[in-house]
Amino acid sequence: MKKLLIAGAALMALIGSPAFAADMPLKAPPPPPAPVSNWTGFYIGGNIGYGWGNANSAINFAQSATIFNTAPFWTLGASDRDPLNGVIGGGQIGYNWQVGQYVYGLETDFQGSGQQGSRALGSALLPGAGILVTAVPTTITYTDRLAWLGTARVRLGYANGSWLFYGTGGLAYGEMKVSGNALPAPSFFGPNGPYPWQQSATKVGWTAGAGVENAFASHWSWKIEYLYVDLGNATTNVSGGVGNCLGIGPLCNGFLPFPATGSVTTRLTDNIVRLGVNYRF
C-alpha cells in the first residue's frame, strides 16, 4: 500500500511538471466575435457612378396670320423622348443615429453630371385656319442636359454587424439645360423659320432609392446606392417667323412675317447607380 501511494505521488508530480504540460495538446481558443459597428455620428465622403434618364418633351406652337384675320396660319405639335446617359459624381455629408440595430440618418449630396442627349425627328407644319392648305415637312433638332444635381434625404436602415442596409428618399434639385430648333422646309409662301428655343432652369423634385454600406475599417465604409430622380417639368418659350410672307415666295421674301409663339415642355427623370466611400468621425 505504501508503495502504491509513493507511485501515485510521483505520477502527479510528473504531470504537473512544465515539461509534461508543454507536451500536452492545447485546445484551440474560440474565434473572436465578429466586429460590431456603431453607425452613430457624422460622416463625409465621395462617390462616382452612372446615370441613365429621359427628357420627355412636348412641342406645341403656332404661327398667327396678320392678314385676313385667319389665325393660326399653321400649327406644329410633336412629342419625343431623349435618353440622357453619362457619368455622375460628387460628394456627400451626413449624420446617423443608431438605436439597437436600427439606424436613422440625414444625408445631403451634390453631383456634377455629364448626362446629355441629342435628338432629331421629322414633323410637319399643319394647316390652320389660314390659307396654308398642305403640310410643310419640318425637321426638329434638340439637346437636353443635366448639368448638376443635389439631394437632401433621410436614410432608414438596419445594421447587421459591419453591414448597413437602408432605404432613402427626399428632395432633389438640379439644373436642366434645353435647346432646340424647328426648321420647316421652304413653302410656296417663302422660307419658314427657324423657330429656336433655349433655357437653363433650376428645378426641384423628389428622389427615392436604396443602398448597402459596409464598415471595412474603424472609421471607413464603402457603399453602393441606387436613386430614382424626378425633377418635374421645365417650360421654354418658342418664337420665330423670319422670312415668312403671303404671296409668291421669291417676290415677297421678308414681307409680312408671321410670328410664331408657343412652348416646349420638358420633363426630366433619372436613374443613378453610384459607388461611394465615407469617413466616419
Q: How far apart are alpha carbons 259 and 62 in whole angstroms?
A: 9
- Candidates 47, 57, 119; CA nearest to 274 is 47
Residue 19 within a domain: no
Copy the grid coordinates of residue 154. Answer: 433621410
In the predicted model, is pLDDT for residue 146 greater than 60? yes
How confident is the model over 68-94, as pLDDT tens digits?
555 666 788 889 999 999 999 999 999
The answer, yes or no, to whether residue 60 has pLDDT greater than 60, is yes
Residue type (1 letter), 112: G
pLDDT, tens digit, 9 for 90 and up, residues 245-275: 444 444 444 444 556 778 899 999 999 999 9
Query: Based on the structure, what is the number of domains in the chain?
Result: 1
Q: What is the pLDDT of residue 145?
A: 96
Examine residue 208 and state whether it is found in any structural domain, yes or no.
yes
Judged against a pLDDT cut of 50, whether residue 210 lies above it is answered with yes
In the three-class reduction of DSSP (H, G, I as helix; E, B as strand; rest coil), residue 135 is classed as coil
pLDDT value at 163 more than 90: yes
Closest by CA to 208, choosing from 142, 269, 278, is 269
Summarised one tens digit per residue, pLDDT across range 84-139 is 999 999 999 999 999 999 999 999 999 999 999 999 988 887 776 655 557 778 89
- Of residues 65 and 233, the one with the higher pLDDT is 233
Q: Is residue 206 part of a domain?
A: yes
| Cα gap 152→110, rounded to integer Å | 9
pLDDT in tens, 185-196: 876 656 667 888
**75 within some domain:** yes
User: Between β-strands 102-127 and 41-63, what pairing exists: parallel, antiparallel or unpaired?
Assistant: unpaired
Amino acid at site 160:
N
Of residues 223 and 15, the one with the higher pLDDT is 223
Residue 184 in any domain: the answer is yes
Looking at the domain assignment, is residue 18 inside a domain? no
Q: pLDDT at position 67, please? A: 53
- Which residues touch 255 (CB under 8 Å, ≥6 apart)? 245, 246, 247
Q: Whole domain around residue 106: which residue ranges? A: 40-280
Distance, CA of 154 to chain centre: 17
pLDDT at 255: 45
In a domain, 57, yes or no: yes
Kindly state whether residue 67 falls inside one of the protein's structural domains.
yes
Averaged pLDDT for residues 220-237: 95
Listed as own residue / partner, the contacts of 66-70 with beta carbons closer than 8 Å and 24 or more positions apart are: 66/256, 66/258, 67/246, 67/256, 68/130, 68/131, 70/128, 70/129, 70/130, 70/131
- 14 pLDDT tier (thresholds 50, 70, 90): very low
